[in-house]
Chain A
Amino acid sequence: MTKWYRENAPITAEQLADELMRLKRGSVTRRHFLGVTGLGLATAVLARQPGLFNSTAFAGDLGTQMSIATWPNYHDPATFEAFQAATGVAVEVNVFGSNEEMLAKLQAGGTGWDLFVPTNYTISTYVKLGLIDELDLSKLPNYDASTETARFTNEGVVDGKTYAVPKNWGTTGIALNSNKIKTPVTSWKDFFEVAMTEADGRAMVHDYQLTTIGNALVSLGYSFNSTKPDELAKAEELLIKVKPHLYAINSDYQPSMRATDAWMTMCWTNDGAQLNRDMPEIQFVLGKDGGEIWSDFYAIPKSAANKAAGYALLNYLMAPENAVKEHIANGAPTTDSRVLKLLPADVTGNKIVYPDDASLTPLEFGAAVTLTDPGRAELMARFKSA
């Protein structure tokens, strides 16, 4: 029995033995016994998993491994090592560059993920398609809805049911290497111009329709979420004009920026903070003409094989003392006031992570329609294969 289990078990070994004797003596019913010891829940969970029914059935049985689908450079590897040390469950990390890719894997069936990280605008679609389950909040005692910032968390709740709980929020801005690029870049309009001039062959865009198309739209003065065919056509024209000048189309730009293969990229807050921390010449700016503000969530796929471990990891990540380490490592701003209190001043004072409200004003949250809009999906595919 691991240390973690001993400390968190709802009932001690002595109490368990005691209850077991009472059950044997017949002084309590089986139902009482299962309820008190928490074995009822375990039995219920295990009963739904074929082949596991005969394995050791105690509440702490989380298996030995699980899998999480998330984004590049988004976690502190130490977090998963600590989780494994505490529970014996090894965590496999799968990295994706867009929500569309995650959705495609889930639609094709059999992902093996026990936990994944969708962005705010996708959750209603996952619910509609029946790909995620409503969360059983009783298994997430570390989550506290009342300490969350509603603005960033409301999309996790659909029809009054909580399907996803927030990981952190952030923005999509521009990271640029000031040693290489001297032209000031303050907007998406600047971004695409510099990409074709001073940063020719050195700029990156995401392999992700929402941000790549969205920011192109913004640079043309349209809404980040537009699905209007004429506006999309203009954005496509711009993207195809820029494409020959790009270094790569890839959502994992950190390695290229660190190696100075790339000099400028579309960039999420957390990556911007990490890059700037290690290489101060890399700056992170928000487009003054607009862009994206987002929040990422944790959700459990309906097809998860090891839901018990999925819940355990999620609950672990929701504990403020664990979350604060994640936030310090990955540099994303928190949605949870309990975590905010624990963060050191140099993090909360970092303007990349916590920008002024004024610079957030022009930003837009992604809209659900962009995830499934065939026009945007096909535009992105055409842009890549152009």
Chain B
Amino acid sequence: MRAFISSVYLFLYAPIALVVLFSFNAGRSASEFTGFSTAWYGKALSNTFLVSALQNSLMIAFTSATLAAIFGTMAALGMERLAPRNRAIFDALFAAAIVVPGVVIGIATLVALVAVFSFVNPALTAIWPGDQPPQLGLGYGSIIAAHGLFSMALVTMIVKARIASLGRDIVEASSDLYATPLTTFRLIVLPQILPSILAGFLLAFTFSFDDFIIAFFVAGSKTTLPIYVFASIRRGVTPEINAIATLVLVASLLLILTARILMREKKTKSGE
């Protein structure tokens, strides 16, 4: 049993170790180790395309996850109050947003947006008074929208499950004590669902940050980190990619660690 478990961990980490190892390669290739060097970290951070792809990915992941967390939580709260039939419609749509494969979401969004643009852009040109009418196109907006769809469904599911497990009695007790609905929400409900909102936000962020296939279809001329990496695999990977992947890994490990420490402190303080 032990041997099996260890080999599974080895299996999980061997490729990651390889990625980290080659980030310190002296040579140009990501497949032949010729000596130790940290030069690729400097090169990666001064490569404008790589850095802007990373920035785009962070911006898109943050925006889509934030919107998803806000709208998803609102929807989860609102659905509680809907008539059962309307609630079922929402449930079905959210489930669809989660189970429809990413490649289909990408294609459907592309097809729909291209169709919409083909109506809207000529119309804009026709009514615009100046000679530079604004033109709609694929870009940050379409990636955020397509990522946000899945993310919002994710947040709604998680928060809804949490609300369902909350006792109704505590809310009722609160209103019996003449608290306004808003106060009840702020003081009673929100603190209880906050961890699940955060969990949803983190999942959404991770999903968006690592998504390739949806962005591949709807990114237009914009480049996200996965798109950049995919293009690099075609033009020949240099250890720059390994360097940036290692940096992202270290940054996220630090984040997890900080979160853990913060949570532990909070627990000790509250005497748990």
Contacts and interface: CB of A to CB of B under 8 A. Distances in A.
A229 interface: no
A94 B134 CA distance: 27
Given A109-B220, A110-B220, A65 B117 contact: no
Interface of A: 50, 64-65, 67, 72-73, 90, 92-97, 108-113, 252, 255, 259, 305
Given A72-B234, A72-B236, 13 more contacts: A50-B134, A67-B221, A95-B231, A96-B234, A108-B114, A109-B117, A109-B138, A110-B137, A110-B220, A110-B221, A111-B221, A112-B221, A113-B221
Nearest to A74: B235
Nearest to A255: B236
A64 B31 CA distance: 31
Contacts of B134: 50
A65 B223 CA distance: 13
18 contacts: A50-B132, A50-B134, A72-B234, A72-B235, A72-B236, A73-B236, A90-B49, A92-B49, A95-B235, A108-B114, A109-B114, A109-B137, A109-B138, A110-B137, A110-B221, A112-B220, A112-B221, A305-B221
Nearest to A70: B235
Contacts, number: 46
Mostly helix, strand, loop or mixed at chain B's interface? Answer: loop
Nearest to A252: B234
Contacts of B234: 72, 95-97, 252
Interface string B209-227: 0000000000011110000
A259 B234 CA distance: 16
B268 interface: no
A252 B31 CA distance: 16
Nearest to B53: A92
Interface string B89-118: 000000000000000000000100010010
B195 interface: no
Interface in B35-61: 48-49
A95 B220 CA distance: 16
Considering the complex of A and B, which 5 residue pairs feature the smallest CB-CB distances, nearest first? A112-B221, A110-B220, A95-B235, A95-B234, A110-B221
A97 B114 CA distance: 24
Interface in B232-262: 234-236
Given A109-B220, A111-B221, A64 B48 contact: yes
B231 A94 contact: yes
A49 to B, nearest CB: 9
B139 interface: yes
Given A50-B132, A112-B220, A93 B235 contact: yes
A65 B48 contact: yes
A110 B231 contact: no
Contacts of B138: 108-110
A233 B138 CA distance: 38
Nearest to A94: B231
> Looking at A95, A96, A97, which has the most chain B CB atoms within 10 Å of its CB?
A95
> Looking at B139, B221, B235, which has the most chain A CB atoms within 10 Å of its CB?
B235
B129 to A, nearest CB: 15
A50 B132 CA distance: 7
Contacts of B220: 109-112
A252 B235 CA distance: 8
Interface in B110-134: 110, 114, 117, 132, 134
B240 to A, nearest CB: 12
Contacts of A259: 31
Contacts of B48: 64-65, 90
B49 A65 contact: yes
Nearest to B132: A50
A95 B233 CA distance: 10
Nearest to A48: B132
Contacts of B49: 65, 90, 92
B64 to A, nearest CB: 19
A113 B231 CA distance: 14
A111 B138 CA distance: 10
